[in-house]
Amino acid sequence: MTAASELASELSFFASADGDLAYRDVGTGDPVVLLHSGFADHRVFDDQIPALARDFRVIAPDIRGHGLSANASKPFRWADDLAGLLHHLDLGPAVLVGLCMGAAVATDTALEHPELVRAIVVSGAGTSAFEYKDARLLERQSEIGQLLNAGDIAGWLDFFAQGVAGPHRTVDDVDPSVIRRLRELTSHTISKHTPGEKDWHVPLGDPWPRVPKLDVPVLAIHGALDWPDSIAMANRFTDTVPNGRSTTIEDAAHYPNMEKPERFNEILREFLGSL
């Protein structure tokens, strides 16, 4: 059995209007949905899924175009894909836990389908209106695009690894197993795409006027060594909703759930227990 077929055997698939969407579905109890970062897949949460599945039903999808989910062939919105999956599973309201891009998926879904959302946890971002002000990050965004358009996957993976470390460390300061796992996940997703292909994702538009109406508990979990813009985006979200708060995990950057999984799980379980 190949690695891909072995992975597929652990997943379920939802037949959306534009191809099959993969997801992990384990445990029983109140539903918790784990939404991964960009270029990765649900395995970003390998340290969270078994820990949470002891008390909750954990749904961990591969967002469209990532992992084993189908690539888009026509316009789509993150919120509608997730809503379709939750309706398919007859689930909701659920707690949505989003990491970076996954945070944007969570907040988009809460704004567009509020009846499906019980609470929100974000890490590394806030809404889908990403706000980058740091010149270093803006330069990184440009270089990322250049590497992808050139099809330079090896160069992109090296560049991505430095982003994982954050602005205060080098790659050598990060647990090698974390870098290795993320390189594997991201290389798998990048290999699904071709340089210069059309991006079918339809942005939600300016979400901020609607954010104050999100009357659900919201928690931001920061890695203390993350990029300042990432922390600021999550903080703006928690400061704008009626019921938001944040907490920080030391000695971790953009992936606190992978660098400090026990602490991340402890914080997440405490939040879930308070609902």
> Tell me, what CATH number does 238's domain have?
3.40.50.1820
Q: How many domains does the chain have?
A: 1
Residue 152 amino acid letter: D
Q: How far is CA 269 from the centre of its chain?
A: 18
Boundaries of domain holding 8: 3-133+199-273
Question: Which of 186, 185, 162 lies closest to 174, judged by CA?
Answer: 162
pTM value is 0.95
Q: Is the Cβ–Cβ distance between 85 and 14 less than 8 Å?
A: yes
Taking the CA atoms of the chain, what radius of gyration do you get in angstroms?
17
pLDDT for res 1: 52
pLDDT for res 69: 98
Residue 141 amino acid letter: Q
Rounded distance between C-alpha atoms, residue 208 and residue 85, angstroms? 25
pLDDT for res 74: 97
Bridge partner list, 96: 33, 120
The reply to whether 179 falls in a domain is no
Q: Is the Cβ–Cβ distance between 216 and 110 less than 8 Å?
A: yes
pLDDT for res 5: 63
The reply to whether 154 falls in a domain is no
pLDDT for res 156: 78
With a cut of 50, list the residues of the chain below it in pLDDT.
none
The reply to whether 139 falls in a domain is no
